[in-house]
């Protein structure tokens, strides 16, 4: 599920780290009935309005369709087109009954030109029927922890009980963009199948720098739906608007605002952060490092600092990768992240180490507190 950054200090486990909320500046006005803007890699929410409302989502449904197909089918599998696949109302890639297309080609036709015929063909190929495929979609939704989604078909034509929310769509899209083929397809401007050339309906690919595509949608009842992704300077964002008559401009304004105010920044150095003295060890010190990828979404121009919670020394007998302590990252004096720190190497007890009775008592106390038992040393 997505991690909120605008309404309280919710705990979010990301790369084994605790990421706390970022401050949010006033976002530009928009025309959407529901909207959300999230960081694609962590799911942190930069801005949202009415994002958990259950709404019609039109052809943005096809993001989930693609995700389920990619989970269950090889892109090179061939699909023979039956007449009933070509008789679906709405947008089409104009499949020809009796011919065969690869799953890959059908995905392109479904995601670039919103082919309802392609979505239908993929659903029958994957599950045998529209109903069975919709159940796969709902199973996937439950696995992802979505609370406001229910799917009845693979194409998004209006149907009773078919809905999602802006927040759920953002979660689905964050997951879909992890798939290399999906990301490649939705960023493609034109694609050719046989003699037919398909042009991506997402205008942002042509007129917004850094746009990585995704999916448009429209029905009379649902209005205009748009899910997009854009990246600049290593910051990748996903925006969802539902029932938005001015979606192209709203996405541009929200992206401009976010890229101006936020950055995804490394907040701890790579490699060893410091050395801790070792008592009675084969080495005198042991390095400490942050095992996680210590990047956080932060406000630009914030003054960042970090502090370490580590022991003054450690007794020999530690293992590489054991938890040594924690690092706290602050922005303008407020804690915004917490990362576990680990020992960089094994340190065994030195062969000639002789401990006094008092050192043995302290050593025993140290290991009881760390492991719950007394460490007697090497055999």
Determine which one of 3, 4, 48, 62 is catalytic: 62
Determine which one of 17, 48, 114, 280 is catalytic: 114
Cβ-based neighbours of 216, under 8 Å, separated by 6 or more: 59, 60, 114, 201, 202, 224, 225, 226
Q: Would you say 65 and 122 are in contact if contact means Cβ atoms under 8 Å apart?
A: yes
Establish whether 62 is a catalytic residue. yes
**Structure tokens belonging to residue 195:** 């003699």
**Structure tokens belonging to residue 344:** 């960089």
**Structure tokens belonging to residue 321:** 């990768």
Determine which one of 4, 17, 48, 59 is catalytic: 59
Query: What is the rounded CA–CA span in Å between residue 229 and residue 191?
Result: 20
Establish whether 17 is a catalytic residue. no
* CA distances to 73, 83, 237 from 67, in Å: 10, 25, 19
* CA distances to 106, 285, 314, 349 from 346, in Å: 53, 11, 12, 10
- According to DSSP, the β-strands at 272-279 and 314-315 are parallel
Query: What is the rounded CA–CA span in Å between residue 30 and residue 83?
Result: 43
Kindly list the catalytic residues. 59, 62, 114
């Amino acid at each position: 599920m997505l991690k909120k950054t605008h309404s309280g200090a919710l705990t979010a486990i990301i790369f084994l780290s605790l990421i706390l909320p970022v401050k949010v500046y006033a976002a530009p006005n928009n025309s959407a009935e529901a909207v959300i803007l999230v960081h694609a890699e962590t799911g942190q929410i930069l801005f949202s309005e009415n994002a958990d409302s259950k709404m019609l989502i039109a052809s943005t449904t096809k993001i989930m369709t693609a995700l389920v197909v990619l989970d269950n089918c090889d892109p090179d599998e061939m699909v023979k087109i039956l007449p009933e696949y070509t008789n679906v109302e709405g947008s089409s890639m104009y499949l020809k009954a009796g011919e065969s297309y690869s799953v890959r080609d059908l995905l392109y036709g479904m995601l670039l030109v919103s082919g309802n015929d392609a979505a239908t063909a993929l659903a029958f190929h994957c599950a045998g029927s529209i109903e069975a495929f919709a159940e796969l979609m709902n199973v996937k939704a439950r696995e992802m922890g979505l609370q406001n989604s229910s799917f009845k078909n693979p194409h998004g034509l209006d149907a009773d009980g078919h809905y999602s929310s802006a927040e759920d769509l953002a979660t689905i899209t964050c997951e879909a963009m992890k798939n290399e083929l999906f990301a490649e397809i939705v960023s493609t401007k034109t694609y050719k199948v046989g003699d037919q050339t398909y042009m991506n309906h997402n205008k942002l690919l042509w007129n917004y720098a850094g746009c990585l595509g995704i999916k448009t949608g429209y029905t009379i009842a649902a209005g205009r739906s748009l899910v997009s992704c854009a990246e600049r300077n290593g910051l990748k964002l996903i925006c969802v608007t539902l029932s938005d008559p001015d979606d192209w401009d709203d996405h541009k304004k929200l992206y401009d605002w976010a890229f101006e105010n936020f950055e995804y920044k490394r907040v701890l150095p790579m490699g060893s952060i410091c050395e801790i003295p070792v008592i009675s060890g084969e080495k005198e010190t042991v390095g400490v490092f942050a095992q996680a990828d210590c990047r956080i979404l932060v406000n630009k121009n914030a003054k960042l600092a970090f502090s370490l919670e580590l022991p003054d020394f450690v007794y020999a007998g530690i293992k590489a990768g054991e938890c040594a302590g924690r690092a706290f990252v602050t922005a303008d004096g407020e804690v915004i992240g917490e990362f576990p720190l680990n020992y960089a190497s094994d340190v065994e007890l030195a062969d000639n180490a002789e401990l006094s009775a008092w050192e043995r008592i302290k050593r025993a106390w140290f290991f009881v507190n760390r492991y719950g038992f007394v460490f007697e040393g090497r055999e």
